[in-house]
Amino acid sequence: MRTVAVTGATSGIGRAVALDLAAHGFHVIATARDPEKAEKLSARAAEADLTLSTVMLDVTDPASCQDAVTRIDELTEGGAWALVNNAGIARAGAVEDVSEHDARAVLETNLIGAARMTRLVLPGMRRRGQGRIVQMSSLGGLVSVPFNAWYCAGKHALETLTDSLRMETAGSGIHVTLIEPGFIDTPMLSDALEHFPASAHHPGVHDAVRGLVAWMKPPGPETVARVVRRALTATSPRRRYRVGPAATLAPLARCAPAALTDRVSQALLRAHRL
């Protein structure tokens, strides 16, 4: 049985991934920052007659990461076969309205934390001559969207870091894959919309963004979980898997002139503001 460690596994996409993989024969080690949430995940798995292990982890804390990887090594007698770097946060708002503290928290969790965990599991994978790294990116890693700049910045950086890592591990038996979901109906999305800061410079934008997301009818996290499983079970996984219509269309936006994408963004926000 192959072991997969999933970070940020107590809600949203992470929880869906952990439960889906456990249901399909993987030994899942689900990491969590909150012991109470870890217990709830274990109870949810037990209700579904699934087995998974939980390990405490805060990806922003180097000591916690090292302790978690040591514990994972103990549970697996040598380390996880795969790591799904899913832990992430968002701080929505205009660049001028998001504090430096919140900006640092986003980058530390979404970028540095993922890189830290990747670096810690790679030696074991190299010794075994096989392994999988799955990085949870986003539509925001493909194209920039307004009022979520720091999240996009972190995901853009994760994309480039992962591309470099994939080239560095070529021929080692380690496969590196990016998952790029569009808007997904998760607690993180709901929380970001609920705590969207008021802005004197952008009046009414909060309702416009909420209306735009509702209009898109984002799918649930189970959609992403199935794609992660596909990446882990494929003999030769793809470099990128895009999930949802928004992410599928994102490459078109990347190829379009910046003046055009700016106008489309402004038009969509204006329409939903009205």
Which positions are annotated as active-site residues? 151
- Give the DSSP letter string of the chain: --EEEESSTTSHHHHHHHHHHHHTT-EEEEEES-HHHHHHHHHHHHHTT--EEEEE--TT-HHHHHHHHHHHHHHHTS--SEEEE-------B-TTTS-HHHHHHHHIIIIIHHHHHHHHHHHHHHHHT-EEEEEE--GGGTS--TTBHHHHHHHHHHHHHHHHHHHHTTTTTEEEEEEEE-S---HHHHHHHHTPPP-SSSTTHHHHHHHHHHHH-PPPTHHHHHHHHHHHH-SS--SEEEESHHHHHHHHHHHS-HHHHHHHHHHHHHHHH-
